[in-house]
């Protein structure tokens, strides 16, 4: 499917957010615009002011009307949200939960797709990284992220705090099937389930049984299993072994930050929060946060945001434009010398190379 | 406190377990025996046959009488348990939960102590590891490990599986206080809390509030906070920043395997499951598993088991013997050339150097 010839515009929601979000998103939009224009496609942008700064000004996290409006767009490009670490005016985690996670849950972004690839060996903290090229398919709508829990006798010596992870056959099966589908399109055709089923028996066995059942639909795809603790070991001793990892929301959160670190840092790590049933727009965002300490200084690397735009184009079917940006990014990253460039200079270089 | 002069014997329970467990424990006992003998202390050993092999033969995991008997010992030295990966006769996780975790929970091993230290730069997969010398104080008796959860409509398309993490003020406070105490005895006097309080609000805030409260009792100790995902990044990009990490049962499981990997592998990683109130014996075990693939071949590195014996001596107050073994291990590890030695040869070399 290449939509380049059929559609003439992309109706794109842009949420730049806080900190370095606006800077990196400006470059992603710049590159995106140029790449699709070459295919005769226009970008129609709608900006949404959301995030910690917006909350400070208005007390709003994600109003229902804004969520409804976002639903009318083809896709969402998201920068980063989050207050400065020392800012005590913002209740901890409120923006993350009531805005970012609310978007992922409301728009049913059940595939949290996070590719990891090492370009050259530039920037890996590993002595012998080898070839790294895998994707993590992280479940995005359930597990320990559902916000189900409570506090009894809070603030007393008898306090009990619970967190309930909810896992459903519906939720697990659709993401596992997505992982196998993606694996069957890749040369190595291998899926690794990561969980901790020797301790988290109930959830773990649902995941394991589901992988075994779905695997039967994909005889060409091999699969194995790793406990999350063992997976982190392999991530630093033998990352080449991974092709497609499928895992739950929390283990995926942990593994993908580690994966970003070993492939040169979160300045390069892209992600898509994808609703594969297309019942709502999907959202694409760099894995990194808002990095308030370097905000507004043109020090942030926009590559992760630009690669997130590539995932966006792929999801919408603009594969020609996606491959062009990707090639320009790879060329740029592999030619990096360590000499610092401004956020805009990196965006300009990638746009110029299209 | 140095007990070397006062007590004349240590009443030690030994659970060699499965796979490489018996081989590495034999070396730990050899070294332990020699080190305490030099202080005029005898080792009284009681062997317990437990583990996957024992389950296959008897159907027993940890009978009540055995648990009661273990309670009469001064400490427990534990090898490893676990069936061969392909062995479908053993229900997954049953030995881990009904034996290993049952010991930790029944004997109230609330401090799961896991030191990480890089000897020389030997064996680290990191290109520039720097100096690594930290301890992880992992909570050992609650969190997502409590086994509280269930399955509704199992095996149907409407299955729901839950896992409930239980966290109590009692459980969190005692382990946090232990971490601060250990930090105040270390040169850098720094505690890092690792959690995910922006998502796991209820548990996360209990941990955060507790750290802040306990910190007031230790004005000489500084502290900071990292989300678990960010902590894994620092573990590979800047592990020197860590001094004492305090964290929950599951995050501690994940972080300590990663920590072992960056400091030369689980062949070196020791742990103590400690009941600091001394209401029951504490248990000391290498972090590694039973490694059935190399069992019985004298290929396993007994260093982790020997360093676990050092933690055991420290806990019982035999500090002179502990420091002697530690020095012998450090000398041995730092002189390693990569030339393979048998399990017994490593144990012999360390014993000879005492
Ligand atoms: C900000 C936070 C809620 C989020 C998560 O935990 O999913 C982030 O860490 C991520 O990985 O996108
Ligand atoms: C075997 C397993 C139950 C155990 C754990 O998860 O605690 C192990 O991974 C460990 O770290 O000691």
Query: Does B156 map to a domain?
Result: no
Ligand 2 neighbourhood includes B253 CB (under 6 angstroms): yes
| Strand-pair partners of B164 | A164, B148
pLDDT in tens, B251-280: 999 999 999 999 998 899 999 999 999 999
Q: Which helix (H) or strand (E) holds A346?
A: helix A343-352
pLDDT in tens, B124-133: 999 999 999 9
Ligand 1, atom nearest to A82 Cα: 1
Q: Is A139 left (phi over 0), alpha (psi -120 to 50) or beta?
A: beta
Q: Is the domain of B209 the same as that of B248?
A: yes
The Cα–Cα gap between A272 and A316 comes to 12
Q: How far is the CA of B234 from the centre of ligand 1 (A)?
A: 16
The Cα–Cα gap between B90 and B263 comes to 33
- A257 labelled catalytic: yes
Q: Of B241, B265, B289, which marks where a domain is finished?
A: B265
Looking at the structure of chain A, the number of domains it has is 1
Torsion of CA B225, B145, B21, B302, to 10 degrees: 0
Burial of A337 (0-12, 13-18, 19+ CB in 10 A): exposed
Instruction: Spot the catalytic one: B30, B34, B196, B324.
Output: B196
Ligand 1 neighbourhood includes A98 CB (under 6 angstroms): no
Q: Which helix (H) or strand (E) holds A214?
A: helix A201-215
- Looking at residue A39, what DSSP letter applies? T
Q: Is the domain of B316 the same as that of B222?
A: no
Q: Which helix (H) or strand (E) holds A78?
A: strand A75-80
Substitution candidate for ligand 2 out of B251, B253, B283 with most atoms within 8 A of CB: B253
pLDDT in tens, B276-323: 999 999 999 999 999 999 999 999 999 999 999 999 999 999 999 999
Choose among A49, A91, A90, A52: nearest CA to A66: A49
* Residue B140 is assigned to a ligand binding site: no
Ligand 1 neighbourhood includes A100 CB (under 6 angstroms): yes
C-alpha pair distances (Å), B294 with each of A33, B285, B290, B298, B340: 57, 18, 9, 8, 14
Measured between beta carbons, which residues in chain B are less than 8 angstroms from residue A171? none
Q: Is the domain of B208 the same as that of B295?
A: no
Query: Does A172 map to a domain?
Result: no
Q: What is the pLDDT of residue B7?
A: 67
Ligand 2 neighbourhood includes B98 CB (under 6 angstroms): no
- A196 labelled catalytic: yes
Q: How far is the CA of B294 from the centre of ligand 2 (A)?
A: 20
Average confidence (pLDDT) per 10 residues, chain A, 354 residues: 67 97 98 97 97 95 98 98 84 91 98 95 89 98 97 97 98 98 98 97 97 98 97 98 98 98 94 98 96 95 98 97 98 91 98 97
Strands A111-117 and B222-227: unpaired
Q: What is the pLDDT of residue A120?
A: 81
The Cα–Cα gap between B274 and B107 comes to 9
Q: Is the domain of B188 the same as that of B206?
A: yes
- B253 labelled catalytic: yes
Measured between beta carbons, which residues in chain B are less than 8 angstroms from residue A226? none
- A48 labelled catalytic: no
The Cα–Cα gap between A218 and B257 comes to 32
Q: Is the domain of B182 the same as that of B133?
A: yes
Measure in Å the smallest separation between the Cα of B215 and chain A Cα atoms. 16
> How many CB atoms are closer than 10 A to CB A267?
20
Query: Does A157 map to a domain?
Result: no
Q: What is the pLDDT of residue A87?
A: 84
Q: Which helix (H) or strand (E) holds A175?
A: helix A169-184
DSSP A307-325: HHHHHHHHHHT-HHHHHHH
> How many CB atoms are closer than 10 A to CB B165?
25
Residue A145 tokens read as 């992220």
Which ligand sits closest to the CA of B138?
2
Please give the residue range of the domain that contains residue B11.
1-107+280-354
Which ligand sits closest to the CA of A252?
1
Ligand 1, atom nearest to A250 Cα: 6
Burial of B340 (0-12, 13-18, 19+ CB in 10 A): exposed
Q: Is the domain of B53 the same as that of B195?
A: no
The CATH code of the domain that includes A33 is 3.40.718.10
Q: Is the domain of B219 the same as that of B331?
A: no
Query: Does A14 map to a domain?
Result: yes
Query: Does B159 map to a domain?
Result: no
- B48 labelled catalytic: no
Strands A190-195 and B190-195: unpaired
Sign of the four-CA dihedral A279, A28, A243, A104: negative
Q: Is the domain of B206 the same as that of B118?
A: yes
Instruction: Spot the catalytic one: A74, A133, A257, A348.
Output: A257
Q: Is the domain of B11 the same as that of B71?
A: yes
Measure in Å the smallest separation between the Cα of B255 and chain A Cα atoms. 8
Burial of B220 (0-12, 13-18, 19+ CB in 10 A): exposed
CA angle B312, B313, B315 (to 5 degrees): 65
Q: What is the pLDDT of residue B5?
A: 52
Q: Is the domain of B170 the same as that of B241?
A: yes
What percent of chain B shows pLDDT beyond 70?
Answer: 98
Q: Is the domain of B285 the same as that of B230?
A: no
Q: Which residues contact B96 (CB under 8 A, 6 or more apart)?
A: A198, A199, B81, B82
Residue B112 tokens read as 């799961």
Q: Of B235, B265, B295, which marks where a domain is finished?
A: B265
Q: What is the pLDDT of residue A91?
A: 87
Ligand 1, atom nearest to A93 Cα: 3
Query: Does B272 map to a domain?
Result: no
Ligand 1 neighbourhood includes B229 CB (under 6 angstroms): yes
Query: Does B50 map to a domain?
Result: yes
Residue A30 tokens read as 């710049």
Q: Of B265, B291, B322, which marks where a domain is finished?
A: B265
Q: Does B163 score more than 90 pLDDT?
A: yes
Q: Is the domain of B119 the same as that of B249?
A: yes
For B307, half-sphere exposure in the C-beta direction (CA atoms, 13 angstrom radius) is 24
Query: Does B270 map to a domain?
Result: no
Chain B nearest-CA residue for A130: B125
Q: How far is the CA of B250 from the centre of ligand 2 (A)?
A: 9
């Amino acid at each position: 499917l290449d939509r380049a010839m059929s559609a003439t515009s992309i109706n794109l929601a842009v949420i730049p957010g806080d900190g370095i979000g606006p800077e990196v998103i400006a470059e992603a939009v710049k590159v995106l615009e140029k790449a699709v224009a070459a295919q005769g496609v226009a970008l129609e942008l709608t900006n949404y002011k959301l995030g910690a700064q917006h909350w400070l000004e208005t007390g709003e996290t994600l109003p229902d009307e804004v969520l409804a409006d976002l639903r009318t767009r083809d896709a969402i490009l998201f920068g980063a949200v989050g207050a400065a670490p020392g800012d005590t005016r913002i209740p901890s985690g409120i923006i993350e939960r009531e805005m970012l996670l609310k978007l992922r849950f409301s728009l049913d972004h059940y595939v949290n797709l996070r590719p990891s690839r090492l370009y050259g060996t530039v920037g890996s903290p590993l002595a012998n990284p080898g070839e790294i090229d895998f994707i993590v398919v992280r479940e995005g709508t359930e597990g320990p992220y559902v916000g189900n829990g409570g506090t009894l006798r809070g603030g007393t010596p008898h306090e009990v705090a619970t967190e309930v992870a909810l896992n459903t056959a519906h939720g697990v099966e659709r993401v596992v099937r997505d992982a196998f589908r993606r694996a069957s399109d890749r040369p190595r055709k291998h899926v690794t389930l990561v969980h901790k089923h020797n301790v988290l028996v109930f959830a773990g066995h649902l995941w394991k049984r589901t992988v075994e059942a779905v695997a039967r639909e994909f005889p060409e795809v091999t699969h194995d299993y790793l406990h999350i603790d063992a997976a982190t070991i392999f991530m630093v001793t033998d990352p080449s072994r991974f092709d497609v990892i499928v895992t739950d929301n929390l283990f995926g959160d942990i593994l993908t930050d580690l994966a970003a670190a070993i492939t040169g840092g979160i300045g390069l790590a892209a992600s898509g929060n994808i609703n594969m049933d297309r019942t709502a727009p999907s959202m694409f965002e760099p894995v990194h946060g808002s990095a308030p300490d370097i905000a507004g200084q043109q020090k942030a690397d926009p590559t992760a945001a630009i690669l997130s735009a590539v995932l966006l184009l792929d999801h919408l079917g603009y594969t020609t434009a996606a491959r062009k940006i990707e090639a320009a990014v790879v060329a740029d990253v592999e030619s990096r010398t360590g000499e610092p460039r401004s956020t805009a200079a990196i965006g300009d270089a990638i746009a110029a190379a299209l």
